[in-house]
Structure 1
Amino acid sequence: MPDQLHPLPGSAPSPSTPPPPGCGPRRVVVISASVGAGHDGAAAGLADRLTAQGFQVDRHDFLDLLPAHAGRLLCGGYHRLLTWAPEGYQRLYKATEHSSRPGAVWRALFRSAEHRTLRTITPDTCAVVSTYPGASQVLGALRRRGLLTVPAFTYLTDFSVHALWVAPGIDAHLAVHQVPAAQAHAQGAAAVTVAGPVTGSRFTPASDGQRPAARARFGLPEHAPLALLVAGSWGVGPVRQAAVEIRETGVAVPVVVCGRNQALVARLKQDGIEHAFGWVDDMPGLMHACDVLVQNAGGLTSLEAFAAGLPVASYRCIPGHGRTNAQALEEAGLTAWIRTREDLGPALTELLHGPRGQAQRAAGIALHRSAPGPVPAIAARTGYGPAPAVVGHAGRRRLALTAAVAATTLSLGVAGPLAYAYTEAPARFTAVAHYLDGDRR
């Protein structure tokens, strides 16, 4: 049986149409942003898959499309806010999380990027894909005004969907899982499709021989359980505190990746954290060496860990998207959100040695195998592929509901009937379940 894309109710993609004139080379423009590494990582994975299917791909950084170095100022301000005033960022994020449209300052900033964005669209372009909310807002505005004449897509890189991700005018929103898809649909996103994640092909479960070889290569203990602690490419958040607390549980040895934050590496060494690394080029190898991933942002590294067969825990999450992603990932049955220090040791023990860890490993691997990725949806709308298979209206509801309930049930180690999940699941999951099952109250 062929793989199928699974649109949400009321959001099925339109049938494929003939290729637009001048689209012989099948060129796709992908616009990301070098804000951390997650958006760029998703763009790189997407570009690899598009290229493998015969598309030519041009990649652009949205920060470079803003005038007068505004993009770098924006990125620097965001970094400083996360580092110096994290709770201020939390208040800003929460205040705008469900806004129906960007504020006046954001609209002016996005409008200033329109001219340069249009210049990236060559005559042989047949589609544009954004992996960053700001770029999606610009592309949507250009589509609404008829200035962009090829389909525009948003690939939702987060598991929680901030309002900025949803841009009127975008032709289709592609999500990695039913939970972010339902959030996007609830906020009015067009043609929401569960397309699945994109990660590097080297992120696979470790074989028996790969694990000891990887530990030797990184100078890690040969036999001890290892908890890989990651904090994004910037190394932000209470990383030192989390590392020390993992060590003090006695359950696992912390192995910390600090990204480009070399000062954090030095501080961790001073704290007695022996295995602290800066930027790591061979993350697949390091994941092969470790037994569990502990993360604080819920971004691309979590998806890579799922592909590598690692159970994942969220702990000491950064404000804003770090916390909402932790909630959405837990809701999806893919991670454990450890909210207190007292819960850290027992939760790590269960993930390392118990049924919850086994269930999360299976759920993470299944996430990468259950959907064909975003390329078929993009190809269908550009006329270079068949229209995505559309499940019947009731069938779509049952399929999405079953997947969401099953994932949550597996993660909790619960083997009870689905009715139990309806009554015992967290409030946000129950709301999604009611929506998918047709309850619009």
Structure 2
Amino acid sequence: MPERDELLPGPPPSAGPQGTGRHRVVVISASVGAGHDGAADGLTSRLAAQGFLVDRYDFLDLLPARTGKLLRDAYHRLLTRAPERYQRLYQATEHASRPGAVWRALFRSAEHRTLAALPPDTTAVISTYPGASQVLGALRQRGALKVPAYTFLTDFSVHALWIAPGIDAHLAVHPIPAAQAHAQGAAAVTVVGPVTDARFAPVVGGQRSAARARFGLPEHAPLALLVAGSWGVGAVRQAAAEIQETGVAVPVVVCGRNQSLVEQLRQDGIAHAFGWVDDMPGLMHACDVLVQNAGGLTALEAFASGLPVASYRCIPGHGRANAQALEEAGLAAWIRTVDDLRPVLAELLHGPRGRGQRLAGVALHRAASGPVPAITARAGHRLAPPAPSPTVHHPGRRRLALAATTAVATVSLGVAAPLTYAYAKAPAHFTTVAHYLDGDDR
């Protein structure tokens, strides 16, 4: 298996020198799992590095009384106790033209507190949660919010709730979610690439051995990092047992805040089960492949770390939708049956499929200039041009070069993405691509 420190030499491209002004940007996330907050963390750090003042709010705190906690708890119960009911609900609303009456009433209840929370010198507001986007869009439509409002699409699949009339621009991590957003009427869709902590990077030097020693992991065995979000939901015990039974890799399971799952796994004979892990970059350095069930922030962090990614026993709703989108993008394998688990893991660990995914994942992070220039374009904050990305030549990697061209071409707001990346692997989806390319941005 090739060393992961050979993937792309040099550091990621700089976002450019710091801006000269002190403009204030507000980022609104939601503590529903960790993905929305993780994206907000990445946005906050990048904006702060460019000289912006950044305020953070949790959308659940902007809802009246205890509504936010009730919403989070209800979502958690659906995922853990009635997953197929959640799947039906997700599918029923996936392409709805507008939120239902109950959702609209809930969002209206947050409008006053959202507007009151914004400091007077705010120059832009960014949402990483669909409910917050709905509120901001409604405020913009009525003229109550006077500054630009953006939605940062955290998922590879775009549910209809993400698309809110009134939002000035929708920022996507990849052309596939950009196409989905555009097809649903999103305004000014732009591919800006992911935002993750800078510590997520391909392993170099002796980092791998040191990380394995630090976590008490086998020194030489192939390791499959199995994750299930901050809540530790889904068929985690079954997936861990099945990975172990393949004999191809040793499962290393992260259960988030689900401590009872940690104990159950250890009783099942899974030796390396962890609860909440603060040093996820280090754990990714220790492992050789990521197996995930939701397709959210952890997958993006794995791409940045040079890990090949597989989706397996995905949770309903966004988990399955993200798995399909990641597969279409050529960034992650979707293992649909237990019979496919062993051969696909072997390909990702030892074959050209794994190396191709590692290269594609790192390139995803390095091809685009990030969300700050797109935000700056409307927030009145001028930045110097970003430093150029390091030029890397990989014979026969034409698809990766095309990916870089695609992402760079979409950095300006209002420019539809030329969706050429990875479509050699998904020709059946050219209908969606053509719709995106032929349409006018709104």
- Bin the TM-score by the shorter chain: 0.7 to 0.9
Instruction: Tell me which amino acid in the other structure corresponds to 1:257.
Output: V
Q: Tell me which of 418, 426, 440 is aligned to 1:400.
A: 418
Equivalent residue letter for 2:379: T
Aligned pair in 2 of structure 1 residues 308, 106: CA closer, same or farther (>3 Å)?
A: same
Q: Which moved more, 1:304-313 or 1:119-128?
A: 119-128
CA contact 1:380–1:387 (8 Å) conserved in 2: no
TM-score by length of 1: 0.87
Separation in structure 1 between the aligned mates of residue 107 and residue 68 of structure 2, nearest angstrom:
11
How far, CA to CA, are the matches of 1:437 and 1:60 in structure 2? 35
**Residues 1:225 and 2:218 aligned together:** no
Q: Which residue of 1 aligns with 2:393?
A: none
- Written as runs of structure 1 = structure 2, the 5 A alignment for 1:42-441 is 42-385=39-382, 400-405=418-423, 409=424, 425=426, 427=428, 429-436=429-436, 438=438
Runs of 4 or more consecutive aligned structure 1 residues displaced over 3 Å after TM superposition:
386-393, 436-440
Q: Are the aligned partners of 2:60 and 2:67 in contact in 1 as well (CA < 8 Å)?
A: yes
Q: Which residue of 2 aligns with 1:34?
A: 31
Structure 1 regions of 5+ residues with no counterpart?
A: 6-22, 410-420
- Alpha carbons of structure 1 residues 345 and 426: separation in structure 2 relative to 1, 3 Å: farther
Contact in 2 for aligned 1:28/1:127 (Cα 8 Å): yes
CA contact (8 A) 2:156 2:325 kept: yes
CA contact (8 A) 2:182 2:436 kept: no
Cα drift, residue 385 of structure 1 = 2.7
How far apart are 1:390 and its partner, in Å? Answer: 6.8
1:391 & 1:59 partners in 2: Cα distance? Answer: 27
How far, CA to CA, are the matches of 2:109 and 2:246 in structure 1?
51
- Distance across 1 between alignment mates of 2:261 and 2:144: 46
Aligned partner letter, 2:241: V
| TM superposition shift of 1:123 | 1.0
Distance in 1 separating the partners of 2:203 and 2:242: 27
Distance in structure 2 (CA, Å) of the matches to 1:213 and 1:288? 9
Tell me the distance in 2 between the aligned counterparts of 1:33 and 1:433: 31
Q: Are 1:377 and 1:387, in contact at CA under 8 Å, matched by a contact in 2? A: no
Listed one character per residue, the Cα deviations across residues 23-65 of structure 1 (whole Å, up to 9, x for unaligned) are 9630000000000000000000100000000000000000000
Are the counterparts in 2 of residues 133 and 165 from structure 1 also a CA contact under 8 Å?
Answer: yes
**CA–CA separation in structure 2 for the residues paired with 1:103 and 1:439:** 27
CA 40–77 in structure 1, closer or farther in 2 if over 3 Å, else same? same
Code of the aligned partner of 2:294:
A
**Contact 1:379/1:385 (CA < 8 Å) preserved in 2?**
yes
Secondary structure of 2:201 counterpart: coil
Distance, in Å, in 2 between the alignment partners of 1:52 and 1:166 is: 29
State the distance in 2 between where 1:97 and 1:392 align. 27
Q: What is the CA–CA distance in structure 2 between the aligned matches of 1:33 and 1:146, rounded to whole Å?
A: 24
Name the amino acid aligned to 2:420. T
The two structures, once aligned, show a CA RMSD in angstroms of 2.1
The separation in 2 between residues aligned to 1:312 and 1:74, in whole angstroms, is: 31
Native 8 Å contact 1:129 1:154 kept in 2: yes
Q: Deviations over 1:85-117 (max 9, x none)?
A: 000000000000000000000000000000110
Deviation at 1:437, TM superposition (A): 5.3
Distance across 2 between alignment mates of 1:247 and 1:137:
43
Distance in 2 between the 1:74 and 1:392 partners? Answer: 35
TM-score relative to the length of structure 2 = 0.87
Shift of 1:391: 7.0
Q: Distance in 2 between matches of 1:68 and 1:48?
A: 30
Amino acid at match of 2:25: V
Shift of the 292–172 alpha-carbon distance from structure 1 to 2, 3 Å rule, reads same
Q: How many residues align?
A: 399
CA distance in 2, matches of 1:349, 1:169: 47
Q: Which runs of 5+ in 2 are unaligned?
A: 1-12, 386-407
Does the CA-based 8 Å contact 2:190-2:411 persist in structure 1? no
